């Protein structure tokens, strides 16, 4: 990211501060995307809500903003912040699906080969089948096997690691090397890990895509997404596609996301602490089978995760005997709500089979929140008591 990219809001009256790449995660999360200190100006700038901007005289050019669909200072502030964390050029969108849909439309042409995770977010596969019927799709489980012919003639390889909801992991560095050698680009869905948990661009991927509705913003009060790329031309193409297609984020939601980003390091720290404690409970509990969490040393994905992840995240998976056992478990919980997103302050659980994921009827995706660790473990333990497998 160039200095001009980072500080390009001067013409909109909001010059963004430069963040030292040597600072730690917490410092960068707090300061990225915020304006430089000016006496008398607010410490935290508010959202820019205008749909139109004053134009320069006809003989002049170079306005930062002219119309609300093509540019907004609040977008650029968040894009700088996320781009600094991801290590590339960020473009924000009104949802994770808008982000990945715009990316796929920008990169793929009729007859192109797209490689998708067969065990990743089901909505992506559904959208591709409905909207990109002219693309040839190959589906591969996140854990493989990744044979050489998977990459033959592929234009784009989409990885999702850890996968949602199964929490399998693939080797980003190795698969990026093999895909690039075969002439394909690699995009990594980094929703579960966040930029603090994993930096795919540093591991050789070309593109990062994420639903920022989840852990990145983490308060369960907005829908947002982003794409971060290494290539400046691709970033420009995505911005043009966003402008022409109208897939633009609301300035207020974007501002909420920037506000929420400041606590990302703190939130992930508590969630990781809670995830470790919950893992200790679940992995040996007689009511639980098929426990998954990449941070657990006994997990099949742990070795690969430990090589590339900086943090293991707060999403776990496990199986209860059946859907009725899940119902009874959730009824007994006082701190765990039934909800279908993840990464928020509140601990939630989702029985994924109800949405059509190819998982057992009793499989639960558990997103641990920021509650007191002892309270959360005690609540889960009490809710699991009395559940038995046939």
Residue of 204 and 61 predicted with greater confidence: 204
Does residue 225 share a domain with residue 98? yes
Does residue 281 share a domain with residue 224? no
- Closest residue by Cα to residue 288 from 362, 192, 232, 223: 362
Structural domain contains residue 279: yes
Structural domain contains residue 233: yes
Mean pLDDT value across the chain: 94
| CATH value at residue 215 | 3.40.640.10
Between CA 53 and CA 56 the distance in angstroms is 10
Q: State the average pLDDT over residues 228-256.
A: 98
Q: What angle do CA 365, 291, 263 make, to 5 degrees?
A: 50
Does residue 151 share a domain with residue 32? yes
Catalytic annotation on 265?
no
130 Ramachandran zone, left/alpha/beta (phi>0; psi -120 to 50): alpha
- Closest residue by Cα to residue 33 from 237, 217, 157: 217
- pLDDT grade, residue 59 (50/70/90)? low
Structural domain contains residue 61: yes
Q: Are 104 and 224 in contact (CB under 8 A)?
A: no
Structural domain contains residue 390: no
Structural domain contains residue 67: yes
- Closest residue by Cα to residue 282 from 358, 160, 387, 165: 387
pLDDT given for residue 44 in this prediction = 87
pLDDT given for residue 8 in this prediction = 46
The DSSP 8-state label assigned to residue 340 in this structure reads: S
Q: Provide the residue range defining the domain that includes 326.
A: 265-384
pLDDT digits (tens, 9 = 90+) for 313-364: 999 999 999 999 999 999 999 999 999 999 999 999 999 999 989 999 999 9
pLDDT digits (tens, 9 = 90+) for 61-117: 666 799 999 999 999 999 999 999 999 999 999 999 999 999 999 999 999 999 999
Does residue 129 share a domain with residue 278? no
Between CA 180 and CA 286 the distance in angstroms is 45
DSSP 283-294: TT-TT-EEEE-T
Q: Which of 9, 25, 65, 121 is catalytic?
A: 121
- Closest residue by Cα to residue 13 from 51, 43, 39, 41: 41
Structural domain contains residue 34: yes
Does residue 276 share a domain with residue 257? no
Does residue 62 share a domain with residue 152? yes
- Closest residue by Cα to residue 319 from 295, 367, 278, 285: 285
pLDDT given for residue 243 in this prediction = 97
Catalytic annotation on 189?
yes
Structural domain contains residue 378: yes
Q: Which of 7, 15, 69, 276 is catalytic?
A: 69
Q: Which of 119, 168, 171, 189 is catalytic?
A: 189
Final residue before a domain boundary, out of 246, 261, 276: 261
Final residue before a domain boundary, out of 261, 286, 310: 261
- Closest residue by Cα to residue 90 from 225, 287, 204: 225
Does residue 194 share a domain with residue 304? no
Structural domain contains residue 389: no
Omega prior to 47 cis, within 30 of 0: no
pLDDT given for residue 13 in this prediction = 52
Does residue 190 share a domain with residue 270? no
Q: For the chain, what is the domain count?
A: 2
Does residue 276 share a domain with residue 159? no
| CATH value at residue 376 | 3.90.1150.10
- pLDDT grade, residue 4 (50/70/90)? very low
Q: Which of 14, 76, 214, 242 is catalytic?
A: 214
**Which residues in the chain belong to E strands, given as ranges?**
89-93, 113-117, 136-140, 154-160, 185-189, 207-211, 225-229, 289-292, 315-319, 337-338, 348-351, 363-367
Q: Are 365 and 265 in contact (CB under 8 A)?
A: no
Q: State the average pLDDT over residues 161-173.
A: 98
Does residue 195 share a domain with residue 318? no
Q: State the average pLDDT over residues 13-25.
A: 85
Final residue before a domain boundary, out of 233, 261, 289: 261
Does residue 291 share a domain with residue 143? no
Between CA 390 and CA 376 the distance in angstroms is 27
The DSSP 8-state label assigned to residue 255 in this structure reads: H
pLDDT given for residue 269 in this prediction = 98
Q: State the average pLDDT over residues 159-167.
A: 97
Q: Are 219 and 345 in contact (CB under 8 A)?
A: yes
Q: State the pTM of this model.
A: 0.94
Catalytic annotation on 53?
no
Catalytic annotation on 214?
yes
Does residue 376 share a domain with residue 311? yes
């Amino acid at each position: 990211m160039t200095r001009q990219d980072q500080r390009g809001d001067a013409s909109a009256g909001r010059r963004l501060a430069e963040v030292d790449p040597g600072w730690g995660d917490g410092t960068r999360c707090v300061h990225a995307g915020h304006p430089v200190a000016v006496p008398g100006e607010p410490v935290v700038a508010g959202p820019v809500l205008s749909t139109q901007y004053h134009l320069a005289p006809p003989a002049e050019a170079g306005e930062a903003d002219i119309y609300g669909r093509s540019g907004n200072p609040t977008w650029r502030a968040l894009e700088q912040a996320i781009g600094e964390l991801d290590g590339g050029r960020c473009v924000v969108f009104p949802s994770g699906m808008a982000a990945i849909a715009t990316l796929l439309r920008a990169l793929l042409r009729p007859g192109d080969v797209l490689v998708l995770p067969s065990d990743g977010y089901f909505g992506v596969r559904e959208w591709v089948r409905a909207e990109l019927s002219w693309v040839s799709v190959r589906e591969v489980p996140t854990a493989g096997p990744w044979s050489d012919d998977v990459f033959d003639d592929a234009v784009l390889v989409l990885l999702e690691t850890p996968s949602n909801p199964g929490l399998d992991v693939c080797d980003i560095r190795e698969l990026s090397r093999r895909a690039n050698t075969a002439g394909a680009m690699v995009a990594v869905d980094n929703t579960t890990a966040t930029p603090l948990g994993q930096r795919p661009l540093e591991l050789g991927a070309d593109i990062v895509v994420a639903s920022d509705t989840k852990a990145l913003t983490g308060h369960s009060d907005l829908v947002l997404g982003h794409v971060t790329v290494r290539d400046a031309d691709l970033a420009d193409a995505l911005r043009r596609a966003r402008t022409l297609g109208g897939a633009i984020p609301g300035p207020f939601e974007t501002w909420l996301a920037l506000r929420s980003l400041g606590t990302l390091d703190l939130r992930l720290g508590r969630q990781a602490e809670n995830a470790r404690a919950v893992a200790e409970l679940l992995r040996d509990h007689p009511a639980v089978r098929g426990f998954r969490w990449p941070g657990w040393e006994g997990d099949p994905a742990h070795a690969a995760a430990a090589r590339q992840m900086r943090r293991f995240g707060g999403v776990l998976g496990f199986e209860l005997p059946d859907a009725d056992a899940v119902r009874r478990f959730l009824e007994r919980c006082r701190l765990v709500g039934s909800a279908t997103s993840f990464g928020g302050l509140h601990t939630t659980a989702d029985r994924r089979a109800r949405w059509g994921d190819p998982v057992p009827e009793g499989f639960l995706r558990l997103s641990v929140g920021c509650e007191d660790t002892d309270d959360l473990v005690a609540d889960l333990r009490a809710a699991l008591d009395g559940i038995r497998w046939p």
